[in-house]
Amino acid sequence: MAPGETAGYSYEEYKETADWLLSQTVHRPLIAIICGSGLGNLADSLKDQVIFKYSDVPNFPMSTVSGHAGRLVIGTLREKVCVCMQGRFHLYEGHAIWKTTFPIRVFQLMGVRTLIITNASGGLNPDYKVGDIMVLKDHINMPGFAGVNPLVGPNDQRFGERFPCMSDAYDKQLRELTKAVFCDLGHASLLREGVYCSLGGPSYETIAECRMLRLLGADAVGMSTTHEVISARHCKLSVLGLSLITNKTVMDYESMEHANHEEVLQSSKRSMQFLKEIVTHIIGRLPCLSDAS
């Protein structure tokens, strides 16, 4: 933590940002979408767009990663109002963990009730192929083992309880809806359901680390998502997680393969249209959320 930096945002700062965004548009989003590396074009599907650069939004951090545009897009998709993040914030950029999850509470104060979160990840499960999409049923938050958790510090009951449950982090009904969409669109062979593991990054995993994570039960690994999901569940948002498998992790010491960010971006680009189609159909089938608690 930098000298003079306080341990978190105040409720008033979250509220200031939410109120400012609502004052700039007639849209009232009920669904938030977070786009992972190379997946920002999902926002292009929104109609009647209002676009904000992160640098123009009060209190917002800045994204510095290639493949992350650093914009908020608010608009409609299948007659439902959404707010879409083109770029997220990571621990490896040097952000404090409470900064990486800042948008989640802002969205909740704006009226969002459902979070759809996407990421690009490396496949640990030997049955996974590049281009598969894994529906997250659970996660392993490795930084959390060392106390790196977005809920560390004083708890504000206006957002949620001190000790939120995480055994139901990923909404079962949303997962079942996603499976139905894949089947109805004829893409069932590309659908996986598994456990996502987050690491701090920015270095990719060693072979020994990949082997360990697989033994722990992880099917895919990345450098994001879990902090956002923890914050979302803390403030009672329903969460759907979708992980695009962009590369196979290296498990063999004789392998000549090397993980790299360009490979991730290229794989994401090839699967973009498919993922846009899936998310669009999922949102189209979501029930009316206006009366959700």
What distance in Å separates the CA atoms of residue 59 and residue 13, rounded to the nearest whole number?
Answer: 7
213-222 pLDDT, tens digit each: 999 999 999 9
Q: How many CB atoms are located within 10 Å of the residue 89 CB?
A: 28
Query: And the tokens for 150?
Result: 């977005």
205-262 pLDDT, tens digit each: 999 999 999 999 999 999 999 999 999 999 999 999 999 998 899 988 888 777 777 7
Query: And the tokens for 127?
Result: 């049955």
Among all residues, which ones are annotated catalytic?
37, 68, 90, 92-93, 120, 223-224, 247, 261
Read off the pTM. Answer: 0.92
How many residues appear in the chain?
293
What distance in Å separates the CA atoms of residue 167 and residue 190, rounded to the nearest whole number?
Answer: 26
- Reading the chain (293 residues) residue by residue, the pLDDT tens digits are 343 344 689 999 999 999 999 999 999 999 999 998 767 788 888 999 999 999 999 999 887 766 557 899 999 999 999 999 998 999 999 999 999 999 999 999 999 999 999 999 999 999 999 989 999 999 999 999 999 999 999 999 999 999 999 999 999 999 999 999 999 999 999 999 999 999 999 999 999 999 999 999 999 999 999 999 999 999 999 999 999 998 899 988 888 777 777 776 777 677 778 888 999 999 999 986 554 43
Q: Of 162, 121, 116, which is closest to residue 140 (Cα–Cα)?
A: 121
Name all domains of the chain by residue range, CATH numbers in brackets.
21-285 (3.40.50.1580)
Query: And the tokens for 207?
Result: 């072979």
pLDDT given for residue 3 in this prediction: 35
> ω before 58 within 30° of 0 (cis)?
no
